[in-house]
């Protein structure tokens, strides 16, 4: 379980094994900000486009060793969400009424569907579209490490996040959709722009896909930024809107011969 880190702990002491990761907190018992809980932070392999995990499960085992408060015989439970998933500028959380007993491992299984989650800062319902938008670009998965006001240490083990594959040998993933996309879109849920299209900042879902604006000098561009690839016809610039050094003309006209070589005094690229 390499790559797992924790939030809210400065210079954490983390030990990793094949299927287990542990963080030592010590006598202080809390994170850097005692008002915030400590969470496990998933590594890169759990992030990105996870649409093929929709309807499947996130499973793991947690253990939290609490420290009794002064004068108390037992540790004081801490109420926080069990899982927080962030993506595409949104964050949703999963909360379980059951929690691990102090010092004992606790197995948890979370269905990755909208009905199991709510928004982090409101009680607003998570819709299927909301869930798909987040899974299309997961930027963070946090699993709670701290289940008591103060803890000596915490462990996380046997983390598994189901992913659907064409060549998979498991059960059919009936909830994973495969759409027939309109022109300009591709992907299982039409979540990507096709080659020759770019993402706009407006429209539903993740934004509409519009044709690349390369002034007729390139057929493709970056699907997110719109920057044109491999400008032709002696042009350059983010939108192939300029004539290359040594050429003159109006690149934005879109004509193949819009940029002509300078004659200074000879028609040679070395004379500019």
Beta bridge partners, 158, equal none
CATH number, domain at 44? 2.60.120
Residue 100 lies in a domain: yes
C-alpha gyration radius of the chain: 26
Taking only the tens place, the pLDDT of each residue in 92-115 is 999 998 888 888 999 999 999 999
Q: How far is CA 93 from the centre of its chain?
A: 15
Q: Classify 25 in phi/psi space as left (phi over 0), alpha (psi -120 to 50) or beta.
A: alpha
pTM: 0.78
The predicted pLDDT at position 187 comes to 86
Residue 140 lies in a domain: yes
Range of the domain at 68: 5-161
**List of residues 6+ apart from 141 with CB closer than 8 A:** 41, 42, 46, 47, 58, 83, 84, 85, 86, 161
Beta bridge partners, 59, equal 109, 160
Residue 194 lies in a domain: no
The predicted pLDDT at position 167 comes to 62
d(CA 173, CA 233): 48
Residue 123 lies in a domain: yes
Overall domain count for the chain: 1
For residue 103, the SS3 value is: coil
Residue 152 lies in a domain: yes
Q: Does 213 score more than 80 pLDDT?
A: yes
């Amino acid at each position: 379980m390499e790559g797992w880190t924790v939030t809210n702990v400065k210079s954490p002491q983390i030990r990793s094994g094949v299927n287990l990761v542990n963080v030592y907190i010590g006598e202080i018992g809390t994170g850097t900000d005692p008002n915030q809980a400590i969470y496990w932070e998933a590594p890169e392999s759990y992030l990105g486009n996870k649409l093929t995990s929709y309807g499947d499960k996130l499973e793991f085992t947690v253990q939290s060793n609490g420290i009794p408060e002064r004068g108390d015989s037992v540790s004081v439970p801490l109420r926080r969400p069990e899982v927080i998933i962030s993506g595409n500028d949104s964050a949703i959380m999963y909360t379980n009424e059951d929690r691990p007993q102090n010092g004992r491992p606790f197995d948890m299984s979370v269905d990755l569907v909208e009905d199991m989650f709510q928004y982090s800062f409101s009680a607003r319902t998570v819709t299927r579209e909301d869930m798909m938008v987040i899974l299309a670009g997961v930027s963070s998965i946090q699993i709670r490490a701290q289940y008591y006001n103060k803890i000596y240490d915490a462990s996380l083990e046997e983390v598994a996040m189901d992913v659907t594959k064409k060549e998979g040998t498991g059960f059919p993933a009936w909830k994973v959709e495969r759409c027939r996309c309109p022109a300009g879109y591709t992907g299982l849920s039409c979540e990507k722009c096709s080659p020759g299209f770019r993402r706009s900042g407006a429209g539903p879902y993740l934004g509409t896909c519009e044709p690349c604006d390369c002034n007729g000098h390139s057929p493709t561009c970056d699907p997110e930024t719109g920057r044109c690839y491999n400008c032709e016809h002696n042009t350059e610039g983010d939108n192939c809107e300029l004539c290359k050094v040594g050429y003159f003309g109006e690149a934005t006209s879109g004509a193949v011969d819009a940029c002509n070589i300078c004659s200074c005094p000879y028609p040679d690229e070395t004379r500019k």
